[in-house]
Structure 1
Amino acid sequence: MSETALEARHLYKVFGKNPNQAVKRLKAGETRDDVKDAGTAAVIDASFTVNRGEIFVIMGLSGSGKSTLIRMLNGLHDITDGEVIIGDDDIATASPARLREIRRERVSMVFQHFALLPHRTVAANVAYPLELRGVGKAERLQKAEEILALVGLGGWGDKLPGELSGGMQQRVGIARALAADTDILLMDEAFSALDPLIRREMQEQLVDLQAKLQKTIVFITHDLNEAMFLGDRIAVMRDGRIVQIGTPEDILTDPANDYVEQFVQDVDRARVLTAANVMERPRPVISETAGPRTALRQMRDAYMSATYVVGRDRTLLGIVTDRDAVKLVRKGSNDLRTVLKPAPQSVNEDSVLMDLFVPAVESVLPLAVTDAEGRLVGVIPRITLLAALGPGTTATEELTLPLQPMPQAIINEVLGEPADTVGTPVVGGGAAFFDASTGSATQKGEVL
C-alpha cells in the first residue's frame, strides 16, 4: 500500500469572472494583487503530500487561503487548476457521482460549527453516514454507541445536540466523521469555537484517538500552538501560497523566511521541542567493565564529580561518584558495580521540554536522555534546558552553586598525576571550579 494518502499538485483556486485568465497570469509571474481585475486568488500553486497515518496541519492567518484549500481536497470547492490525487482518483476531474462516493467512502469532514442535525439524537447524528450507505438501523446505532464511547460520550446517545455543551457537540461531530470509517479526515478549524480549556482537552483527545485509530488527518488552524501540538508536519500559508512545510521543530528552529520567523516568535517552545531536540552528547560516560581510574579520569576531564555507567549495549545502568571511585582505588578494587548508584533521573527522548523541569532540578548530573530501549542517547544540562526556551539565561553566563565536591588535587593524587590544578569539578557542572576561599562554585561553560 502506498505511503501517500493524498497528494495536492499545483493547486489554484480563483474566485471571480475570469479565473482561468488569472491562473495563466499567476503562472507567468504576476502577483495576487496584479490579477484582481480577473478574480480573487485564494490558493496559488499549492503542492504537498499527506502520508498515511499522519496529522498534517495547514496553518495561516485569516485570508491566507487555508479553509479554501481544505475544501478543494474533497471537492466542496471546484479546483480552478491543478490536481488532488486520492488513490486512483483526481478530485479535480471526478464526476459529481464519483465525488459523492469519495466523500462517503474515502474522505470525511469535521466543521468548525459542528453542523449537527438538531432534530436528531446524538446517536442518530453519529450514525448518519452509515444511514447514507444503507446500513440497517440496529447495526448503525450499535456502531454509533461504540464510537460515542470512544470519544468519551458513552450514555449520551439518546440526547439531542442542544442538550450538550459546545465541547461535547464537537465530539459528536468527530464521532460522526469516525463513523464514516474513511481513510482521510478533514478538520476545518474544528476546535476554534471552543473555550480555551475545552479546546486543549479536545486537542489532547484527538492525539489519543489518533494513536489508537491511525487515521490520516488534515487539520486547519490559525493557532500556532495548536498546530505545533497536533501536527506531525505543518504547512504555513500566506496570501494563498504555502511558504514552508516541515515538522514543528523545523518550523520553530529553522523558519524559511522573516514571515514564518515572526509567526513563531511567541510559540510555547516547552510544548513543542523535545528532549531529542536539545540534548547534547552524553559525557562523561563509561562502560560497566571500566575501572575506577578510568572513571576518575573521565570525570576530571569533563569537570564533573560523577559519571554515567552504561552496559555493552549502552543501556543506562546508573552513576558512579568521584568519592566512591577514589575509595575503590584505595581499596585496590576495580569493580565499579559494587559502588554503582541508580541514575538520579532520566527521561525519554520524545518527552517535551515542559515535562523535564522537575527531573532536571532533581538530578545532580545533566539529565539523562534514553531511547525506547533504555539506551543512553544524550544528556540535557539545566542551562541548556533554559536556553532552549528562548531569551533568558544563556550558557555563557556565570552561576554560583553551593556545592562542596572532592578537591581535584585528591583525584590527581589518586591517579598518580601532578596535583596542581585550576579548580575542582562540580557535580553536574562543566568548566566549573570550586573556590575554597568563598565556599562556593563559580561556573562558566556549557553545562550546569
Structure 2
Amino acid sequence: MSNASPTEPLIQIKDLFKVFGKKPTSVMPMVRDGLSKDDILAKTGHTVGLKAINLDIHQGEIFVIMGLSGSGKSTLIRHFNRLIDPTEGQILVEGIDVMRLNTKELEQFRRNKMAMVFQRFGLMPHRSVLENVAYGLSVQGVDKASRNAKAAQWLETVGLAGYEEQYPSQLSGGQQQRVGLARALCTDAEILLMDEAFSALDPLIRSEMQDQLIELQKELHKTIIFITHDLDEALRIGDRIAILKDGNLVQVGEPVDILLNPADDYVEAFVKDVNRPRALTVETVMKPPAYRLTADTIGEALKQMKRIPANYAYYVTDEGFQGVVCQEALEDAVKTDKEALMEDFKVEELTPISQDALLESIIPATMESDFPLPVVDSDGDLQGELSRAHLADVLSDFYTDDDDSTDEEKLNSTKEDK
C-alpha cells in the first residue's frame, strides 16, 4: 500500500551525502563547509562520492542520471535500492524511508519494488535463457509452470522467442542484454534501475536497444532510472536528465532545457557538439499559434484579421487546420461579397508539420515557406507555428561562427546539402 499521495514524486532523494572512508561522519563538517573533493582526500584520506543531492523522480518517467567517469552517477543509483547506504540523507520511495527498512523488509523491497539491469548483463552462464529470465520469480517463490510461462512471454516481448533453451554464451551481446531486460521486467517491479545498461553494446545494437526501451515504455509506463555517460543517449531516451559532476548535482531538466539553457560551463561543454537538429523535436521549440481565423464569413474573417498585428492568419475549422489567409486577399474578396462563406474562399495551401518531427526533417520546408509553418498534433489540431527566423535562432549555436554568414544562410546551406 502506497503512503505517498498521487501528487507526490514516486522517489525522493533528500540532502543525500556519501563519503567513502573509515570515519565518514567525522569528515562531514568539512564537506558541509565546502572544501573540495581533492582537499578532503588529501587531508583525511576520505573520498566524497555524493554531496547534497536532492531529486524528485515521478511515476512513469525515464529519469536519466549522467556524468563523466567519477561523477558519482553509479554511486547514486546504488543508493536507490540500498546497495550503498548514504552517510547522511533520506531515500523515500512512495513516502517510505528506505533507510528504516530492516533486513527482511529490504529484501522484499529489492525483490518486488526494484529490478536492476547491469552493464555486463549479469546473466548466470549455467542457466538457460528461460531460467535466467524466470530467476527473479523463482526467488519470489512463484511456481515453475507460472514463472516459465511468464518468462516466455517477456522473451517474446523483447524479440527472443525461440531462444528459451539457449545459454548466454550462445547469444550475441545485444541478445544477452535483451535477456537482462526481460529478466528485470519479468518480476513486475515498478522501478527499473539501469546502470550503463547499453554502453557495452556496438553502436547499432545500442541504438536498437534504445528504440526498444522507448517502445516498451509506451506500453509499460515503468519508472526507469537510467545511468549513462553518453549525452546523445540521455537526450534520446530521457524524459528528464540530471547531470552530475564530482558528486554534485549540476542541473536537472528536460532534454530541451539542458540543450538550450545549460546551467554552467560544464554542461555547456557537454552539449556543445550535440546535433541539435537531430535531437530536438518541433514541439520543443515551436511558438504558440498566435493568429487564427475561425469566422464563418469573409467579412467576419477580415474583422478578426484587423485585430491581429500580422497580415496573415491560419484558417481553422472544426475539421482542423485548412490553410493560410492573407489580409490583402480578404480585403479584395470583401469588395465582391462580404457575406460570402469562408469555406468557399480560396485559402493558400500550406502543409502542416508534425509536432513530433525532428527539426532536421523540417528544415527544408521551413526555409522554403513564405509563412511560419503550422504545427499540428496527431489529430490534425493546430498546436503552434515554426518560423524560419525562430528556427535559425534555436539552431544558431549549433552552426560554427567561423564565417560571417547569417543563421538563415547557414540553414539554407543545410537544406541544399539534403
Structure holding more helix per residue: 2
1:380: which partner in 2? 386
Deviations 1:23-64 (A, max 9, x none): 232123322122212411111111111111111111100010
1:349: which partner in 2? 355
1:370 equivalent in alignment to 2:376: yes
Q: Identify if the C-alpha distance between structure 1 residues 226 and 363 changes in structure 2 by more than 3 Å, giving closer, same or farther.
A: same
Identify which of 11, 22, 27 aligns with 1:17: 22
2:257: which partner in 1? 250
Quick one: higher RCO (CA 8 Å, sep 6+), 1 or 2?
A: 2
Q: What does 1:93-104 align with in structure 2 at a 5 Å threshold?
A: 93-104=100-111
Q: CA deviation at 1:220?
A: 0.4
1:134: which partner in 2? 141
The TM-score with structure 1 as length reference comes to 0.80
Deviations 1:351-400 (A, max 9, x none): 43234335546756321112455432321123432442234465677999
Partner of 1:4: helix, strand, or coil? coil
Percent identical among aligned pairs is: 43
Q: CA deviation at 1:134?
A: 1.1
More displaced 10-residue stretch of structure 1: 186-195 or 339-348: 339-348
Q: What does 1:52-91 align with in structure 2 at a 5 Å threshold?
A: 52-87=59-94, 89-91=96-98
1:240: which partner in 2? 247
Q: CA deviation at 1:280?
A: 3.1
Q: CA deviation at 1:122?
A: 1.1
Identify which of 31, 39, 46 aligns with 2:36: 31
| 2:293–2:304 CA contact under 8 A, matched in 1 | no
Q: CA deviation at 1:327?
A: 6.7
Q: CA deviation at 1:75?
A: 1.3
Partner of 1:263: helix, strand, or coil? helix
Deviations 1:190-234 (A, max 9, x none): 111111111111111111111100000111011111111111111
| 1:6–1:85 CA contact under 8 A, matched in 2 | yes
Q: CA deviation at 1:91?
A: 2.9
Partner AA of 2:33 in structure 1: A
Q: What does 1:110-149 align with in structure 2 at a 5 Å threshold?
A: 110-149=117-156
Q: Report the Cα distance in structure 1 between the residues aligned to 2:155 and 2:239, rounded to whole angstroms.
A: 26
More displaced 10-residue stretch of structure 1: 24-33 or 365-374: 365-374
Partner of 2:353: helix, strand, or coil? strand
1:109: which partner in 2? 116
The TM-score with structure 2 as length reference comes to 0.85
2:402: which partner in 1? none
| 1:346–1:368 CA contact under 8 A, matched in 2 | yes
Identify which of 195, 201, 209 aligns with 1:194: 201
Q: CA deviation at 1:284?
A: 5.1
| 1:325–1:336 CA contact under 8 A, matched in 2 | no
Q: Report the Cα distance in structure 2 between the residues aligned to 1:283 and 1:54, rounded to whole angstroms.
A: 31
Partner of 1:289: helix, strand, or coil? coil
| 1:121–1:159 CA contact under 8 A, matched in 2 | yes
Q: Report the Cα distance in structure 2 between the residues aligned to 1:302 and 1:91, rounded to whole angstroms.
A: 57
Q: Report the Cα distance in structure 1 between the residues aligned to 2:411 and 2:92, rounded to whole angstroms.
A: 57
Q: Report the Cα distance in structure 1 between the residues aligned to 2:411 and 2:392, rounded to whole angstroms.
A: 13
Q: Report the Cα distance in structure 1 between the residues aligned to 2:282 and 2:335, rounded to whole angstroms.
A: 39
2:167: which partner in 1? 160
Deviations 1:66-118 (A, max 9, x none): 00110111111232221211235433343332222111011110000101111
Partner AA of 1:132 in structure 2: V
Partner AA of 1:84 in structure 2: I
Identify which of 366, 390, 396 aligns with 2:396: 390
Q: Identify if the C-alpha distance between structure 1 residues 163 and 297 changes in structure 2 by more than 3 Å, giving closer, same or farther.
A: same
| 1:387–1:394 CA contact under 8 A, matched in 2 | no
Partner of 2:214: helix, strand, or coil? helix
Partner of 2:161: helix, strand, or coil? coil
In structure 1, the gaps of 5 or more residues are 401-448
Partner AA of 2:32 in structure 1: K
Q: CA deviation at 1:10?
A: 1.5
Identify which of 13, 21, 46 aligns with 1:8: 13
In structure 2, the gaps of 5 or more residues are 400-404, 413-418
Partner AA of 1:388 in structure 2: V
Q: CA deviation at 1:186?
A: 0.4
Partner AA of 2:322 in structure 1: L
Partner of 1:267: helix, strand, or coil? coil
1:309 equivalent in alignment to 2:315: yes
Q: Report the Cα distance in structure 1 between the residues aligned to 2:266 and 2:239, rounded to whole angstroms.
A: 21
1:286 equivalent in alignment to 2:309: no
